[in-house]
Structure 1
Amino acid sequence: MTTKAQRQHLIRELLASREIGSQAQLVGLLGERSVEVTQATVSRDLDEMGVAKMRTAGRTVYAVPEADAPETLPENTLRRVFGDWVLEVRWSQNIVVLSTPPGSAHVVASAIDRSDFDGVIGTVAGDDTLLIVAVEELGGAAVAGRCRELADL
């Protein structure tokens, strides 16, 4: 069973990879990927996702608005977030642990996720602790070093 979030993610991928002109076509493409869904559900998904129809070369197709495209966080903003919120940086193998004031870990995680931070696979934020998973080739030491540089520690 596919969750709503998974289905909407797949719809986003389909719309980005090809021109889809009808909900019926989208239902068919989802079905090809073993996602059985009704046209009414697709209609609600498209509405929730803010998808609109636009004209391209004489035909109308669905398109995800530009506002949904992720913007990369500028380096100076990332540096400011680290300087303001990161208190300590530790690492072990390919895991980096950042300490922040209570209630602030999600701010730093979001900044990392929205930046071009080399070597980061992903982040997990708690209340005052943030885990960063680094690619094995680069390792936790290199990512931790970059974090310390950004935080001026």
Structure 2
Amino acid sequence: MTSKVQRQTLIVRLVGDHEVTSQPDLIDLLAAEGIDATQATVSRDLDDIGAVKVRVPGGNTVYAIPEFAPDRIAPVDQLRRVMGEWVAEVAVSGNIVVLRTPPGCAHVVASALDRSRPDGLLGTVAGDDTLMCISVNADGTDLCNDLKDFAGLD
């Protein structure tokens, strides 16, 4: 028998590894891992772990899990993947770098940036499809160029 914590840990992994667009999709992924779960159980689990729906390129909405451990440093490869998927535009004004994402995705990018702690980044503030990155320097051009590089933009 799988415990609630084990099931929720697996859900976090599955949501991170697959584009889970619905609860039935997640139930099927759990079944493939040998775990039977009802829709009601999956719904409660997603709520417990703070899963949110975000829009990905192509227009689909998928489940994503905001990070619970903000002190955990995210690897640079993960930052490149997140920014490459969800950052459409990067611009700078003074010490503020503005990033544009599809609707509902700014918080995912902000979380990845906050956890990765790139050089020169003081912090982020995210809205729905826009986030501000505050540079430690009065001129945020270097940070802007670094973030463009992470996003694969020129």
Tell me the TM-score normalised to structure 1 length. Answer: 0.53
Matched positions, count: 86
From the CA coordinates, give the structure whose radius of gyration is larger. 1
Q: Which sections of structure 1, spanning at least 5 residues, go unmatched? A: 1-66
- Paired with 1:130 and 1:115, the residues of 2 have a C-alpha distance of 16
Q: How many Å separate the matches in 2 of 1:150 and 1:116?
A: 13
Q: Which residue is equivalent to 1:82?
A: 83
Counterpart amino acid of residue 145 in structure 2: G
Aligned-pair distance for 1:140?
1.1
- Read off the aligned partner of 1:136 and give its amino acid letter: N
The SS at the match of 1:143 is helix
Q: Please list the CA deviations of residues 118-148 of structure 1 after superposition, one character each: whole Å capped at 9, or x if unmatched.
A: 11111000000000000126x3110110011
TM-score by length of 2: 0.53
Give % identity: 52
- Is 1:151 equivalent to 2:151 in the alignment? yes
CA change 1:97–1:68 in 2 (3 A) is closer
Once residues 69 and 94 of structure 1 are traced to their aligned partners in structure 2, the CA distance between those partners, rounded to angstroms, is 23
Q: Is the 8 A contact 2:91 2:97 kept in 1?
A: yes
Cα displacement (A) at 1:68: 5.8
Q: CA deviation at 1:69?
A: 7.6
The answer to whether 1:141 aligns with 2:145 is: no
| Aligned twin of 1:116 | 117
Aligned-partner SS, 1:114: helix
1:105 maps to amino acid: A
Q: Secondary structure at the match of 2:116?
A: coil
Q: Does the C-alpha gap of structure 1 residues 76 and 69 become closer, same or farther in structure 2, counting only changes over 3 Å?
A: closer
CA contact (8 A) 2:70 2:114 kept: no
Question: CA separation in 1, counterparts of 2:96 and 2:85?
Answer: 22
Which runs of structure 1 show a deviation greater than 3 angstroms over 4 or more consecutive aligned residues? none
Q: Aligned partners of 2:87 and 2:148: how far apart in 1?
A: 9
